[in-house]
Structure 1
């Protein structure tokens, strides 16, 4: 990845260095700062990195620079459904990836699957459609959020798009009769359509749409699905997910193995905190042990022995994994 970043900077200099572009060095420094951020970042996060690197520019100039980087293919703008915030990500030529977005914690995972890409091209050809570009966004819950979930939750805590089974109705007789008249009884499966402002929840049951207030929804206890095809979350975590560049979360690396950090996911503050601990792109990290009872793993990075929570370890992606 550092090699690719160097190529990006060299191309920027070739494109603009001799064309008299105003404030060229400042624009180049903004590119360098942006390339340090290995995730999907907002303009405010880019501005924070630019300030850390010692450059002072106003917001309008920074926005103009990022629009220029997008226009010339150094960056891409993305907006995900769960939030209308404009985010920026690196755009490396010849590399395509899609996204999985956790609707609870906001984690964004990049993935690439050649079989999936080939299938999309095949489908387009069957319909006589010439595909110019495409994207896939999968919304759901990440492995970490699923692992933290209880087996039973109130309906009010179910996520949009989720199908859940009603296990119990914790209400008085009159309320139970009311629920029964709506077709809500134990054993049936309902789908969460939306969560409206004010706490109302729209669900689908037997092809009927129902609107419940937050108080009613909190009395219905449901069992959420734990993983694909009814499997447990542990089974799902053991599958080999096709991450870009064959990267894997540090949490999935067995003790005794080591790898090179490709990126650190998560929000701005978790990334900064982990960066200060030494978890930065290109740094070698070794897993030395795990502690299931304390939900942590032991690692060595930059000569230091550290203990990481499972959540932090899931944010760190590594590649070139060896013994």
Structure 2
């Protein structure tokens, strides 16, 4: 299995654990499996099967997605990786360091995932659990929005189709002529309305709440509606 010859290998401990597991379980090594493992260990981010496939192809190795997924799932099954499925996204794999915990920021435009580490948040969650007499076994916190590269100025308009479940936005403009606007008016949706996204998987239909009314909207129509995210309230 390849390793970093230019200095200390940051994943040396994981490699030792992996070698121990393979020896204990009598698992056979192959060039393809070792290559997938090296790509995973070299990744400094959450890695998808598609991204692993692209990284392998840059090395001149052409493996099908199923073989790569099987190799990554093998790491998960032996506790050396964790598999995370974020909203409307391909599953991703990350290094599993026992005893460590972090949460995530997820960009709904480009798919970027950033780790969120905060002792303050962990302490607050523990304090709240104790005050409620609740004993948490595990938890996860995922914040969906736009990353710094995608968000632009606060006033930037984005298509409604990009807004994740649970977000609240203002309908500002419509791409399309009279027919589109007339259709929206018949649905009861107008410029200036505050729209709450009840359900959005990134495909199929979206479910919206406008006041007390529930609306179902297709993704193609949602692409034509330009919205502005509500600004978070200012702290006193």
Tell me which of 29, 38, 49 is aligned to 1:32: 38
Corresponding position of 1:105: 110
1:258 aligns with: none
The answer to whether 1:80 aligns with 2:86 is yes
Mapped to 2, the partners of 1:137 and 1:35 lie a distance apart of 24
Q: 1:120 — aligned with what?
A: 125
Taking structure 1 as reference, are residues 57 and 2 closer, same or farther at Cα in structure 2, changes over 3 Å only? farther
CA distance in 1, matches of 2:203, 2:27: 50
Could you tell me how far 1:59 is from its partner in structure 2?
A: 6.3
How far the C-alpha of 1:217 sits from its partner, in A, is: 6.5
Offset at 1:188?
Answer: 4.1
Which whole-Å CA distance do the structure 1 matches of 2:18 and 2:215 have between them?
A: 55
- How far off is 1:35 after superposition? 0.6
Q: Indicate which of 228, 239, 255 corresponds to 2:232.
A: 228
What's the counterpart of residue 9 of structure 1? 15
CA RMSD, aligned part only?
A: 4.3
* 5+ residue gaps, structure 1: 232-323
CA drift of 1:13 comes to: 2.7
When residues 171 and 2 of structure 1 are mapped into structure 2, their CA distance, relative to the original with a 3 A threshold, is same
Partner residue of 2:134 out of 104, 129, 132: 129
Question: Structure 1 residues 35 and 167 mapped into 2: Cα distance closer, same or farther (>3 Å)?
Answer: closer
- Checking the alignment, whether the CA contact within 8 Å between 1:9 and 1:32 is kept in structure 2 is no
Deviation string 1:69-89 (CA, Å, 9 cap, x unpaired) is 212222111111112x33211
Q: 1:1-323 to 2 correspondence within 5 Å?
A: 3-17=9-23, 19=24, 21-24=26-29, 26=31, 27-50=33-56, 62-83=68-89, 85-147=90-152, 151-152=156-157, 156=160, 159-160=163-164, 161-167=166-172, 179=185, 182=188, 184-185=189-190, 187-194=192-199, 202-211=207-216, 222-225=227-230, 227-229=231-233
The answer to whether the 8 Å contact 1:33/1:53 transfers is no
Larger displacement relative to structure 2 (43-52 or 3-12): 43-52
1:137 Cα deviation from its structure 2 partner: 1.5
Q: 1:179 to 1:68 in 2, by over 3 A?
A: closer
Number of the residue aligned with 2:3: none
State the secondary structure of the residue aligned to 1:190: strand
Distance 1:36 1:186, change over 3 A: closer
SS at 1:4's partner residue?
coil
TM-score by length of 1: 0.54
- Number of matched pairs: 225
Structure 2 Cα separation of the partners of residues 54 and 168 of structure 1 = 47
Give 1:186 shift. Answer: 5.2
